Amino acid sequence: MGEAGSSKKVCKEENCQAEGNFGGYCASCAAKRANSIRWSQKKRAKRPRMTRRRQEATPGPDPDREAAITVDFGGHEKLLEQLRELAVAEIRPLNHQVIYLLKRAMQGTGDAS
C-alpha cells in the first residue's frame, strides 16, 4: 500500500535531507538559524536602553550633601605651585592630588606634603 496521506516535508536548507517541521526546517537547521539571528542582534545592539521605570529609580545627588568645594589659593601661590609639582611627579590630576593628600592627612599616615 502507498502512503498517500503522509507526505514528508524536506528541510528548506540546502544540502539537508532531514524532515523539516520547524517552519520548514529540520531541528538542527532551525537551531542554527536561531543562533545566527541572535548573534547578529547582539552585534547590532550598542547598549541596552534604560526603561522609564529604571531612569526614575536611579537616585540623583543628595541635595543636602555638597559634592564639590572651591579652594581659593589667593596669597598662597607657592603652596599651589607645590601641589602642581607634586601632582605631576605622582602622575595625578591636581584635584585628585588634593583629595589624596587630604585623605592621607585625615588618616594620619605620615607626611601630608
Residue 43 and residue 72 in one domain:
no
pLDDT at 84 over 60: yes
25 class by beta-carbon count within 10 Å (0-12 exposed, 13-18 middle, 19+ buried): buried
Helix (H, G, I), strand (E, B) or coil at 104: helix
> Does 3 fall in a domain?
no
Residue 68 and residue 45 in one domain:
no
> Does 100 fall in a domain?
yes
Compute the average pLDDT of residues 71-92.
Answer: 91
pLDDT tens, 7-66? 667 777 766 766 667 677 787 787 888 777 777 776 666 556 666 665 565 666 666 666
> Does 58 fall in a domain?
no
Compute the average pLDDT of residues 68-76.
Answer: 86
Residue 15 and residue 38 in one domain:
yes
Say if CB 92 and CB 98 are below 8 A apart.
no
> Does 2 fall in a domain?
no
Residue 103 and residue 68 in one domain:
yes
What residue numbers bound the domain in which 17 lies? 8-49
C-alpha cell at 104: 592621607
Question: For the chain, what is the mean pLDDT?
Answer: 75
Q: Give percent above pLDDT 90 in the chain.
A: 18
Domain count, the chain: 2
